[in-house]
Amino acid sequence: MAKTLDDSLALLKQEKVAVLYGGNSAERDVSLKSGQAIAKGLEEAGFTVVLIDTKTVPLTDLLAKKIDQCSLLFMVEVVKMVVCKVLLSI
């Protein structure tokens, strides 16, 4: 079990994270842009990211792609941890 924030981040960075974006809604364009921005930020932070457009890729493909994390909660928790780390280093 991870003992520090750095340990927790290191463990998370070993996992493959799916960013689900796009889809069929009227907000598709917004979702495409925000999904790409989230993926870029996660990649810059050292995560392995797979972008999945839910309009063209069935969610069942998550199993085939061996995705480890794929949830809004995960994204929120990562952002919280990174923000806390930045604040603590100021």
Give residue-wise pLDDT tens across range 11-70: 777 777 888 888 888 888 888 888 888 888 888 888 888 888 888 987 777 777 777 666
Rounded (5°) CA angle 55-58-59 = 110
pTM of the model: 0.64
Instruction: Say how many domains are in the chain.
Output: 1
Q: In terms of residue numbers, what domain contains 18?
A: 5-89
Residue 27 phi, psi (nearest 5): -95, 20
| Residue 71: CB atoms within 10 Å | 11
Q: What is the CATH number of the domain that holds 39?
A: 3.40.50.20
Tokens of 21: 């974006």
